[in-house]
Amino acid sequence: MNNGTVNVEAKPPEAPPIITQAFKPGAEVTPPIPTYKPDPRYSDKARKAKYGGIVVLLLVVNAQGDVTGTSILKPLGAGLDEKALETVRTWKFKPAMRGTDAVPVRVYVETNFKIY
């Protein structure tokens, strides 16, 4: 850990630079709290194939509670990765806090696609 920033062990090479400039929730930093978090929709291709699973994403939530950076850590395919990204970019959060200051943080998110 350097100056409160975090390095991700499995950081994909295409990860945007902003992802490296955020805190990790922990002892000194409270996690952001979702205030608007709709579920992603199925892609037509995945629905027709009755295909599902989990997409794992890394998000940066800025000090205003907006998602400002995204990266796919575990893709699923069939258009579901894109649907997951499209949806999480609309999420809103109560910002993470470090003491009395709102700070940007990196959080891991799993989006689960299930056909019932």
Looking at the domain assignment, is residue 95 inside a domain?
Answer: yes
Residue 46 lies in a domain: yes
CATH number of the domain at 90, please: 3.30.2420.10
Position 2 in a domain: no
The pLDDT assigned to 20 comes to: 55
Question: For the chain, how many structural domains are there in total?
Answer: 1
- Which has the closest alpha carbon to 53: 71, 86, 79, 34? 79
Closest to 27 (Cα-Cα) out of 47, 51, 1, 55: 1
pTM of this prediction? 0.78
Per-residue pLDDT of the chain (116 residues; tens, 9 = 90+): 334 433 334 444 444 444 557 899 998 999 999 999 999 999 999 999 999 999 999 999 999 999 999 999 999 999 999 999 999 999 999 999 999 999 999 999 999 999 87
The answer to whether residue 47 is domain-embedded is yes
How many CB atoms neighbour CB 115 within 10 A? 10
| 7 inside domain | no
66-78 burial code (b ≥16 CB/10 A, e <16): ebbbbbbbeebeb
